[in-house]
Structure formats: structure tokens, C-alpha cells
Amino acid sequence: MEIRTQKQNILKHLQDGSSITPLTALESYGCFRLAAIVFDLKKEGWNIKTNITKNSKKKFAVYNLDNLD
């Protein structure tokens, strides 16, 4: 079984065509700092889009990988 880092897991999640939120990252990958990982992935050249969503009184980011091939 291959052990992946949080960053690798999040990138795979995005590459599979799924969006990710901070709550999803925490529940699925134990990641408390999704924005920092997305920042690093963007620096590496990944085209990740950020949408701010409002749910009740809370605002949170939803990340998607753009231009999937």
C-alpha cells in the first residue's frame, strides 16, 4: 500500500474531478491547513480555482482543479 502525503492526497482528489473544502480536507485527510497546501500546489503550476461559498452565516473556500485533461 502506498503512503501519500496530505498534499499528494489533495492533489489526487482534485485530479479525480472533485472539489474540496476545508471540512472535506480535515475529515478525509486530516488536513488543518488546506489553503497552505493549495498555495503550494499553485506555486508548482497547478491551475486551482478558488470559489468562496456562503452557507448560513459561514463563508468558506471551495477549490477545484481547472482544465482537467
pLDDT digits (tens, 9 = 90+) for 10-39: 999 999 999 999 999 999 999 999 999 999
Residue 14, domain extent: 6-65
- The dihedral over CA atoms of 44, 48, 50, 51, expressed in degrees to the nearest 10, equals -170
Q: Does residue 1 belong to any structural domain of this protein?
A: no
pTM for the full predicted model: 0.87
pLDDT value at residue 52: 95
In the predicted structure, residue 68 carries a pLDDT above the cut 80: no
SS3 call for 64: strand
Asked, for residue 61, whether it belongs to a domain, the answer is yes
**54 domain residue, yes or no:** yes
Q: How many domains does the chain have?
A: 1
> Taking a C-beta distance cutoff of 8 angstroms, is the pair 20, 14 a contact?
yes
What is the radius of gyration, based on Cα positions, of the chain?
Answer: 12
- What percent of the chain has pLDDT above 70? 96
